[in-house]
Chains A and B, each alone.
Chain A
Amino acid sequence: MTLSEFREEVKRLKESGKYPELKSYLLPALWIAEKNFPAITHDVMRIVAEELSVPLVEVEEVARFYAMFHTEKKGKYVIRVCTNLSCMLRGGEEVLSELCRLLNIKPGEITTDGLFTVEEYECMGLCDGAPAITVNEDRYTNVKVEELPQILKKYGWKG
């Protein structure tokens, strides 16, 4: 998406009439950015600030507050690995370290081909299928370490 296309999207969002005041469109606008850009950069934030008549600093503090918004460049696929209690008890930490080993990165980092970011993540409400991971909006439950290469290959991992 180009920046001017993004501005048009935010304008359309405002026209939906979903909220009675402009600032409430902030999270939905940042969601559009999150889904269409590798990072929510200052250029992106500036457009949001202008369209919603909100100071830039208020856009930035929101973009940085929420765990799902990336203000630094992320991979095409964000792999979230839950290591909270139920997943930890059932091997979530092993899943995380194996993923990092396969992709040769540390949690929070991006692969050199720009394809994957791996994040150690908090509970995603998939505890009945612990350990659980998500790849962008796809979810995988009862994940076994030996299944990881197969999952990665679906997203273009050449391994």
Chain B
Amino acid sequence: MERLLLRNIDKENSHTIEVYLKNGGYQSFRKALKEMSPEDVVEEVKLSGLRGRGGAGFPTGMKWEFAAADLKEPKFFVCNADEGEPCTFKDRIIIEKDPHALIEGMLIGAYATGCRYGYIYLRGEYPIGRKILERAIAEAYEKGFLGENILGTDFSFDLYVHSGAGAYICGEETALIESLEGKRGEPRIKPPFPVNAGYLWKPTVVNNVETLANIPLIIERGGKWYSGIGSPDCPGPKLYPISGKVKRPGVYELPMGTPLSEIIYEHAGGIVQDRKLKAVFPGGASSSVLTAEEIDVPMDFPSLAKAGTMLGSGAIMVLDETDCIVKAALRLIEFFRHESCGKCTPCREGTDWLVRIMRRIEEGEGSEEDLDVILSVSETMENSFCGLGMAAHNPVASSVRKFREEFLTHIKLGRCPYRRG
């Protein structure tokens, strides 16, 4: 497939505005601003069928339509660059290698929805990205793509980088907004949704980095063209970051719906030392695990949901036959315990108990009843306040369901069978 989202990344100095402009950069924004009404832009994005790439998969055009319809002023356009889902590093590639594609996507979105100010909420762990984005923004101001009366029109847009400081929960859009407002990153109740009451309770569009990088393409070549790529019900190119026990970890751009097995064996080169594949978390740390028999699934939102897991951020984590599933799931739930904001009980207590139980199983001190307790805690966590708690138990509960024998081996042996030494 022709590289679309990654079309610029191999060019020398791809992060500079000179290189971006030389390759047709900001032409889509110019076209939107000069030849299209904001309504036309929203329609084009709706026609494309683009669904958000942050994890939830919400239709982008629809989000923009809601924001455009809200007349409260001022409106804010926020890019969610708080890429914190473990083993997700796709947005980092765009931020560091093609920051102007992100800025152009934001400009088009801000024009379509009537937003006056923008923030890129960047995770604190990306200091290199911060420098690149700040430089790119300065370049865009210098060339007249940002600021007042852009390109001689009455459209004005100011854009800033806002650094997070190490909190996974801030990837959740309402927690992100709280954090932008200078508070602890605790999620808000929805509704109202950010499109109507976001930053400072004003209409706020929150879009993921990869989502926004698609926008210039859609405006350049048309929503109809875009909708023909990949899965018909959630089309477009998709960035798949793959890591763990594959020969070539990295970010692969492929049509949405590319089979998981193809990504692992063709693009990422298969399993290290040609070992057997054991398990895959197909959509980040909050996705349910898939076994080696389940990897022929198309990597898109509906197909993975049907397979009992989720696409999430599209981050693929691969375990081979020498890896312990109990230890892997334990590490993921330790992560969620650390990142739970503590606001609601099911998540705060559930992640803590799951860590304790999983740890004793891994240490060889678990019992068979523990497995039932895990599944019962997991069910309770479905009632958490936000998506973090609702999904945090997935890797643990699915591991118990699909690898029960391995858990029982730990319990019977009184130790982890994979531990060396």
A30 interfacial by beta-carbon distance below 8 Å? yes
Determine if A62 and B182 form an interchain contact, defined as CB atoms under 8 angstroms apart.
yes
Determine if B244 and A122 form an interchain contact, defined as CB atoms under 8 angstroms apart.
no
Contacts of B332 in A (CB 8 A): 84-85
Determine if A25 and B182 form an interchain contact, defined as CB atoms under 8 angstroms apart.
yes
B168 interfacial by beta-carbon distance below 8 Å? yes
CA distance A94 to B100 in the complex (A): 39
Please, what's the 1-or-0 string for B168-190, where 1 marks a CB less than 8 Å from any CB in chain A? Answer: 10000000000111111100000
Contacts of A69 in B (CB 8 A): 165-166
Determine if B244 and A89 form an interchain contact, defined as CB atoms under 8 angstroms apart.
yes
Contacts of A20 in B (CB 8 A): 74, 117, 200
Name A127's contact: one of B168, B241, B339 (CB within 8 Å): B241
Contacts of B168 in A (CB 8 A): 122
B123 interfacial by beta-carbon distance below 8 Å? yes
CA distance A85 to B164 in the complex (A): 22
Tell me the minimal C-beta distance from A35 to chain B in angstroms.
10
Contacts of B86 in A (CB 8 A): 84-86, 122-123, 127
Contacts of A34 in B (CB 8 A): 165
Determine if B319 and A124 form an interchain contact, defined as CB atoms under 8 angstroms apart.
no
Q: State which of B124-132, B348-356, B396-404 sits at the interface with chain A.
A: B124-132
Determine if B249 and A86 form an interchain contact, defined as CB atoms under 8 angstroms apart.
yes
Tell me the minimal C-beta distance from B188 to chain A in angstroms.
16
A44 interfacial by beta-carbon distance below 8 Å? no
Among A26, A66, A86, A88, max chain B CB count under 10 A is at: A86
Determine if A85 and B285 form an interchain contact, defined as CB atoms under 8 angstroms apart.
yes
A68 interfacial by beta-carbon distance below 8 Å? yes
Determine if A127 and B89 form an interchain contact, defined as CB atoms under 8 angstroms apart.
yes
Within 8 A of B (CB), among A27-46: 27-28, 30-31, 34
Please, what's the 1-or-0 string for A82-108, where 1 marks a CB less than 8 Å from any CB in chain B? Answer: 011110111000000000000000000
Chain A: residues with Cβ within 8 Å of the partner, total of 41
Contacts of B183 in A (CB 8 A): 23, 26, 58, 62
Determine if A27 and B182 form an interchain contact, defined as CB atoms under 8 angstroms apart.
yes
Contacts of A67 in B (CB 8 A): 165-167, 338
Known: A83-B331, A85-B87. A31 touches B163 (CB 8 A): yes
Nearest residue, chain A, Cβ from B93: A128
Contacts of B323 in A (CB 8 A): 89
Contacts of A84 in B (CB 8 A): 86-87, 285, 331-332, 335
Known: A66-B124, A68-B165. A125 touches B160 (CB 8 A): no
B250 interfacial by beta-carbon distance below 8 Å? yes
Contacts of B124 in A (CB 8 A): 31, 66, 68
Within 8 A of A (CB), among B309-343: 315, 317, 319, 323, 327-328, 331-332, 335, 338-339, 341
Please, what's the 1-or-0 string for B64-99, where 1 marks a CB less than 8 Å from any CB in chain A? Answer: 000000000010000000011111110010000000
Contacts of B315 in A (CB 8 A): 127
Nearest residue, chain B, Cβ from A58: B183
Among B182, B183, B185, B341, max chain A CB count under 10 A is at: B182
B251 interfacial by beta-carbon distance below 8 Å? yes
A61 interfacial by beta-carbon distance below 8 Å? yes
A5 interfacial by beta-carbon distance below 8 Å? no
Contacts of A62 in B (CB 8 A): 182-184
Please, what's the 1-or-0 string for A127-142, where 1 marks a CB less than 8 Å from any CB in chain B? Answer: 1111000100101000
Tell me the minimal C-beta distance from A116 to chain B in angstroms.
18
Determine if B92 and A125 form an interchain contact, defined as CB atoms under 8 angstroms apart.
yes
Contacts of A139 in B (CB 8 A): 128
Contacts of B160 in A (CB 8 A): 18
Nearest residue, chain B, Cβ from A122: B335
Determine if B331 and A85 form an interchain contact, defined as CB atoms under 8 angstroms apart.
yes
Name A123's contact: one of B251, B328, B335 (CB within 8 Å): B335
CA distance A126 to B315 in the complex (A): 12
Q: Could you list some 28 contacts between A and B, CB below 8 A?
A: A23-B181, A23-B183, A26-B182, A28-B163, A31-B163, A34-B165, A52-B182, A66-B164, A68-B125, A68-B166, A69-B165, A83-B331, A84-B86, A84-B332, A85-B317, A86-B87, A86-B244, A88-B327, A89-B319, A89-B328, A122-B86, A122-B338, A123-B85, A123-B87, A127-B88, A127-B89, A128-B249, A130-B249
Closest 10 CB pairs of A and B: A26-B182, A67-B166, A66-B165, A68-B166, A127-B243, A86-B243, A123-B86, A23-B182, A125-B89, A65-B184
- What is the interface of chain B, defined by CB distance below 8 A to chain A? 74, 83-89, 92, 117, 123-128, 160, 162-168, 179-185, 200, 241, 243-245, 249-251, 281, 285, 315, 317, 319, 323, 327-328, 331-332, 335, 338-339, 341
